[in-house]
Amino acid sequence: MRRRQLTLMTLLIGMLGLVLMLTGAQAQDDEHYLGYRQKVMKSIGASMGGIGDILKHKLPFAGHIETHASDISRMSTLIKDAFEKEITEGRTDAKPEVWQDWDKFAAGAETLQEESAKLADIASAGDMAAIGAQVKNLGKACGDCHKPFRKPKEERFKR
């Protein structure tokens, strides 16, 4: 009887260990996915920030806007893959709505791609008023996705 209880205990402890090990590995895997999708978004943020600097501070780099815009357009084609895995726990600001309303999220990524490609086209012509107007449209594409799918500032995780 004693021995049987002992065997059962050992078995249970072993199983618990295995479960802990597996969930630990899963959490680590998720961290890498989160880091990656945030890097895709950060890169888009850096390009948009560069465009903002050029316009706001009248830097003599208007000729760079086309490159920043096409970078955003290329990076935006990676968004769907980068966010496909549903991870809502941990260091992420993505709302669960991303996966509940995936078609809308995917459409948002496509709109971003179109608006940034349009900006690249317009920028190559060099008309600053037209560029300014299209940058507004591009900014709206960011906001239209962030509003439903990214947590508001006060709820974001701190680095």
d(CA 43, CA 49): 10
75 sits near ligand HEC (criterion: CB under 6 A):
no
Other C-beta atoms lying within 10 Å of the C-beta of residue 117: 16
Q: How far is CA 47 from the centre of its chain?
A: 14
Show contacts with ligand HEC in window 83-102 (CB under 6 A): 92-94, 98
Looking up tokens 């309303």 gives 101
Residue 25-44 contact track with ligand HEC, rule CB under 6 A, x = bound: ---------x--xx--xx-x
Number of residues that bind ligand HEC (CB under 6 A): 25
**How far apart are CB 11 and ligand HEC at their closest, in Å?**
39
Cα–Cα–Cα angle for 123, 129, 130, nearest 5°?
A: 50
**How far apart are CB 61 and ligand HEC at their closest, in Å?**
18
105 sits near ligand HEC (criterion: CB under 6 A):
yes
**How far apart are CB 64 and ligand HEC at their closest, in Å?**
16
CA atoms within 13 Å, Cβ hemisphere of 132:
6
Other C-beta atoms lying within 10 Å of the C-beta of residue 96: 11
Residues in touch with ligand HEC (CB under 6 A): 34, 37-38, 41-42, 44-45, 48, 72, 79, 92-94, 98, 105, 108-109, 112, 138, 141-142, 145-146, 149-150
